[in-house]
């Protein structure tokens, strides 16, 4: 279980201290409070957070100045004689009633913010978000546009072979795009286990639960790119399913939406074409990124937890069964049904790749048409 990375780890210990403690301006964030909000709810939460933190700090300082005064002044070494009082009804009533009143004072703004947060009515745009192990799917329900969004940080950066980029682990291949100054409603669900969708700067987080549709909303005031990640433990790659949202002005958003609609038409053309083995292998290698988390870059899997592809019965057995496993997944395991996530071309390419790479050499070629025939 301790991997061979152990060796490099020792060497990294020193560079770690260096990274951590020298003033490297590029990464030295030292963030100590909530990220700057960009939505009305985000502002409310920050205010609420600061208010309650302040109240807590004041009470803390008051209470413990009594204690520390006592620790200083009422010491036996200074010859202080112990008083023998055991209670004071007056004091006890006071310090029951006052905290209660402070709590009521805290509850009022909290309730107001909560009511605002839960009002998802009158949205300008609805996006359905589905959590998968370990990626997000976004669907613009009224526009027929949808896509998957996965981590785009290269493996080499994670494994410490390449230097880490600025947005290490918080970058995706296709970000969610939303218009600014419009009320966007999110519908959340999941396909396998529970995930949670969270963008700190929007001030919203909610679980994506299989069999449930949760709702939340945001209104982003400033154009920009906002980053977050899955916040509910969802298995091996829970730490590797970031969320990136690009907020564009409504005009730019409309243009983006139109270009997406065109892109989806191209997929149908691709599916009808007959592809060469090399083309399929080249594309399949890219699609295999979907499989790496469990089956590994080398296809050897994790013994006992995730099966190998190299030399496996599925990848060297009948083609139809192999395509079937990729399309429909395997219930009760982390192997999910890819048929709705990947295009016919993607599935054909990745199956071809798995059968002719990673140590397998069956010579089989699978065409997109073969995939579409079993949809």
Partner 1 sequence: MATAEAAHHDEHHGHPTGILRWITTTNHKDIGTLYLCFSLTMFMVGGLMALVIRAELFQPGLQIVDPHFFNQMTTMHALAMIFGAVMPGFVGFANWMIPMMIGAPDMALPRLNNWSFWILPFAFTMLLASLFTVGGGPAAGWTLYAPLSIQGGMSVDMTIFAVHMMGVSSILGAINVIVTIFNMRAPGMTLLKMPLFVWTWLITAFLLIAVMPVLAGVVTMLLTDRHFGTAFFNPAGGGDPVMFQHIFWFFGHPEVYILILPAFGIISEIIPTFSRKPLFGYTAMVLATAGIAFLSFIVWAHHMFTVGMPLAGELFFMYSTMLIAVPTGVKVFNWVSTMWRGSLTFETPMLFAIAVVFLFTIGGFSGLMLAITPADFQYHDTYFVVAHFHYVLFSGSVMAMMGGAYYWLPKWTGHMYDEKLGKAHFWLNTIFFNITFFPQHFLGLAGMPRRIPDYALQFTEFNVISSIGALGLGLSQLLFVYVVFKCVQGGKKASSEVWEQPLGLEWTVPSPAPYHTFETPPRIS
CB-nearer residue toward partner 1: 96 or 262: 96
Among residues 212, 227, 69, the alpha carbon closest in space to that of 149 is found at 227
| d(C-alpha 264, C-alpha 144), whole Å | 10
CB-nearer residue toward partner 1: 169 or 319: 169
User: Which pair of structure tokens corresponds to residue 349?
Assistant: 């390419």
Least distance between partner 1 and beta carbon 287 (Å): 22
End-to-end Cα distance, the chain? 39
Pairing of strands 145-149, 135-140: antiparallel
Cβ–Cβ < 8 Å for 132, 192: yes
Least distance between partner 1 and beta carbon 319 (Å): 27
Least distance between partner 1 and beta carbon 122 (Å): 17
User: Which pair of structure tokens corresponds to residue 97?
Assistant: 């009633």
The three state secondary structure string of 227-293 is EEECCCCCCCCHHHCEEEEEEECHHHHHHHHHHHHHHHHHHHHHHHCCCCHHHHHHHHHHHHHHCHH
CB-nearer residue toward partner 1: 120 or 260: 120
Cβ–Cβ < 8 Å for 353, 288: yes
Least distance between partner 1 and beta carbon 156 (Å): 10
CB-nearer residue toward partner 1: 72 or 266: 72
CB-nearer residue toward partner 1: 163 or 363: 163
Least distance between partner 1 and beta carbon 49 (Å): 5
User: Which pair of structure tokens corresponds to residue 291?
Assistant: 């499989």
Helix (H, G, I), strand (E, B) or coil at 218: strand
Q: How many CB atoms lie within 10 A of CB 187?
A: 17
Least distance between partner 1 and beta carbon 347 (Å): 23
Q: Give me the residue label for tokens 């920009």.
A: 224
CB-nearer residue toward partner 1: 88 or 276: 88
Give the H or E element holding residue 345: helix 344-356
CB-nearer residue toward partner 1: 196 or 220: 196
Least distance between partner 1 and beta carbon 360 (Å): 24
DSSP letter, residue 239: G
């Amino acid at each position: 279980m301790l991997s061979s990375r152990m060796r490099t780890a020792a060497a990294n210990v020193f560079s770690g201290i260096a990274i951590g403690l020298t003033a490297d301006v590029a990464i030295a964030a030292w963030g100590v409070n909530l990220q700057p909000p960009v939505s009305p709810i985000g502002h409310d939460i920050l205010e609420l957070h600061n208010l309650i933190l302040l109240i807590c700090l004041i009470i803390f300082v008051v209470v413990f100045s009594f204690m520390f005064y006592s620790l200083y002044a009422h010491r036996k070494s200074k010859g202080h004689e112990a008083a023998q009082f055991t209670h004071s009804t007056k004091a006890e009533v006071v310090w029951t009633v006052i905290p209660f009143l402070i709590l009521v004072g805290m509850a009022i703004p909290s309730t107001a913010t909560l009511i605002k947060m839960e009002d998802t009515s009158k949205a300008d745009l609805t996006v359905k978000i589905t959590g998968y192990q370990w990626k997000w799917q976004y669907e613009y329900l009224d526009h027929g546009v949808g896509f998957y969004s996965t981590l785009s940080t290269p493996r080499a950066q994670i494994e410490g072979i390449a230097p880490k980029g600025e947005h290490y682990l918080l970058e995706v291949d296709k970000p969610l795009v939303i218009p600014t100054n419009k009320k966007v409603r999110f519908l959340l669900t999941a396909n396998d286990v529970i995930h949670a969708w969270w963008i700190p700067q929007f001030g919203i987080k909610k679980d994506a639960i299989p069999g449930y549709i949760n709702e939340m909303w945001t209104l982003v005031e400033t154009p920009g790119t906002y980053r977050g990640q899955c916040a509910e433990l969802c298995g091996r790659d829970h730490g590797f399913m970031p969320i990136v949202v690009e907020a564009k002005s409504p005009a730019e958003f409309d243009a983006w939406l139109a270009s997406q609609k065109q892109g989806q038409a191209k997929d149908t053309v691709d599916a009808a074409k007959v592809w060469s083995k090399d083309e399929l292998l080249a594309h399949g290698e890219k699609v295999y990124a979907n499989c790496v988390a469990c089956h590994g870059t080398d296809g050897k899997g994790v013994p006992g937890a995730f099966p190998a592809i190299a030399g496996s019965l599925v990848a060297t057995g009948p083609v139809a069964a192999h395509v079937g496993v990729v399309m429909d997944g395997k219930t009760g395991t982390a192997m999910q049904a890819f048929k709705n996530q990947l295009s016919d071309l993607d599935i054909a390419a990745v199956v071809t790749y798995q059968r002719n790479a990673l140590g397998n050499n069956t010579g089989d070629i699978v065409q997109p048409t073969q995939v579409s025939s079993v949809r």
